[in-house]
Amino acid sequence: MSMRRIAILPGDGIGPEIMDATLGILEAVGFEAEWVRLESGLAAIQKGLPAMPHETIEAIREIGVALKGPTTTPSGGGHQSANVLLRRALDLFANVRPAKTIPGIKGPFSSHDIDIIVIRENTEDLYSGIEYQPHPDVAQAIKIITRPGCRRLCDYAFDLMARQGRRRLTAVHKANIMKLTDGMFLEEFWRVAAMHPGVRADEIIVDNCCMQLVTNPEQFDVLVTENLYGDIVSDLCAGLVGGLGLAPGANIGVNCAVFEAVHGSAPDIAGKGIANPTALLLSAVLMLRHLGEAVLADRIHGAVLRVCAAGRCLTGDLGGAASTKQYAQAIVDEARA
Ligand SMILES: NC(=O)c1ccc[n+]([C@@H]2O[C@H](COP(=O)([O-])OP(=O)(O)OC[C@H]3O[C@@H](n4cnc5c(N)ncnc54)[C@H](O)[C@@H]3O)[C@@H](O)[C@H]2O)c1
C-alpha cells in the first residue's frame, strides 16, 4: 500500500518551529505519512512567488489534506493574506475552532468548564478584499454574503451537532444593523434549523455574545457565525481557555481540509525557540480524527492534557519556562508512557 501523503506548509515566524515540533511528535507516536513540503507566505515571496503560490494550492487540492503553520500578512499595504487566498481558492467554507478548558492551565477563567466550538464562515463577508477610495478622505469596503454560502455553513453546523452529540447551536450576528447581509444569514440559519427539530437553536447579537462569553461562558455550546465575527469571537474563546497557544482549527471544504492553529506567526517570539506548539499539535489531532486515526488522536490529546495538568513542562505563554523542544519531548514521553 502506498504511504499516505500530507501537505505541509511551515509558514512564517514561529511556524517552522512549531511545525517541526508537531511533526516530530506525530512521527514519535507512530503516525506514518509522507510530508509534502510546500511554499507559502514570506518564504514564497522572497523567492519571487505569490504569498500562496498556484503550485501550493494545486498540490493541496490533489493531496486533499494539509497541515499549515501561520503566515504573516502586513497591516495596511503589502501582499494579500495567504490564508484568504487559500481558503477562497480551495473553497474551504467552514472554519471550525474548538475552545475547551484544559485542566491545570491557570488563568482568569480556569475555574470555568468551557467547551465551545466556533464555526466561522471562511470565504465571504468583508474578507472579499474589495475596498476602494471614492474620495481621499473616504474608504469603503464591500461585505459579501450569499444565500448558498449561508446555507452550506448552516447545513455543516447542524450536521456537526448530530455528529458530535452537541446540545445548543447559537447563530451570532448583527442583523439589527446589517439588515440585508446578516439578515440573510439569519434567515438561512432558521430555515436549516426547521429541518433539525432535535437541535436547540437560538440567536444572539455579536456584541452581547462577547459580553456573555466573559461573564457566563459555560452557557454556550456551538456558535455559528460569519467570517469577521467568527475571527474575533474565536480569538476571544481561545483567550478564555488559556490563550492562542492552545487553540486549534480546521478549514473544511468539500474535497479538501486544511488544519491550522487559530494564532498568527507571533513575530515577537519568532526564532527564540519558546513558542507553544500545542495549538498546531491539537490541529494535527483534528487532522488525525479527520483521517480516521482516532486512537492516535486520543493518545496525543491525552498526553497534552496530562502534561498541562502536571504543570511541570509548560512554555512561557502558560507561565512555564520550557522551550518548544522540551515541551514537545514531554508530550512524546507522556504519549509513550
Ligand atoms: N492563520 C494565520 O496564518 C494567521 C492568523 C492570525 C494572524 N496571522 C498573522 O500573524 C501575524 C502576527 O499577528 P498578531 O501578532 O496579531 O497575532 P499572533 O497570534 O501572531 O500573536 C498574538 C500574541 O500571541 C502570542 N502567541 C501567538 N501564538 C503563540 C504561540 N503558539 N505560543 C506562544 N505565544 C503565542 C504572540 O507572541 C503575541 O504576543 C500578522 O501578520 C497576522 O496577519 C496569521
Which residues belong to the active site? 127, 174, 207, 231
Question: C-alpha cell of 169?
Answer: 447551536
CATH 3.40.718.10 residue spans of the chain: 1-97+245-337, 115-240
253 Rama sector, left if φ>0, alpha if ψ -120 to 50, beta otherwise: beta
pLDDT given for residue 1 in this prediction: 61
pTM: 0.94
Residues 6+ away with beta carbon under 8 Å from 312: 320, 330
Neighbours of 52 (CB within 10 A): 28
Amino acid identity of residue 120, one-letter, is R
C-alpha R_g of the chain: 20
Residues near ligand 1 (Cβ within 6 A): 14, 18, 70-73, 83, 244-245, 260, 263-269, 275-276, 279, 317
SS3 274: coil
Nearest ligand 1 atom to alpha carbon 278: 31
SS3 103: coil
Domain 1-97+245-337 architecture: 3-Layer(aba) Sandwich (3.40)
pLDDT given for residue 231 in this prediction: 95
> Ligand 1 pocket: which of 56, 67, 105, 263 to mutate (most atoms <8 Å of CB)?
263
Low-confidence ranges of the chain (pLDDT < 70): 1
**CA 10 to CA 291: how far, in whole Å?**
20
CATH 3.40.718.10 fits domain 115-240: yes
Handedness of CA 76, 79, 80, 81 (dihedral sign): negative
pLDDT given for residue 11 in this prediction: 95
Handedness of CA 117, 58, 63, 154 (dihedral sign): positive
SS3 134: strand
- Specify the pairing of strand 34-37 against strand 5-9: parallel
Residue nearest to atom 13 of ligand 1 (CA): 264
Nearest ligand 1 atom to alpha carbon 267: 12
The string of DSSP codes covering 162-212 is HHTT--EEEEEE-TTTSTTHHHHHHHHHHHHHTT-TTSEEEEEEHHHHHHH
Output the CA 289–ligand 1 centroid distance in Å. 25
> Ligand 1 pocket: which of 122, 241, 265 to mutate (most atoms <8 Å of CB)?
265
- Specify the pairing of strand 257-260 against strand 138-141: unpaired
pLDDT given for residue 312 in this prediction: 83
**CA 94 to CA 87: how far, in whole Å?**
9
- Give the number of residues written for the chain: 337
Give the phi and the psi of residue 122 in degrees, each rounded to 5.
-125, 0
Among the residues of the chain, which ranges form H helices?
A: 15-28, 41-46, 54-63, 82-89, 147-163, 181-193, 206-215, 227-240, 278-290, 294-310, 324-336
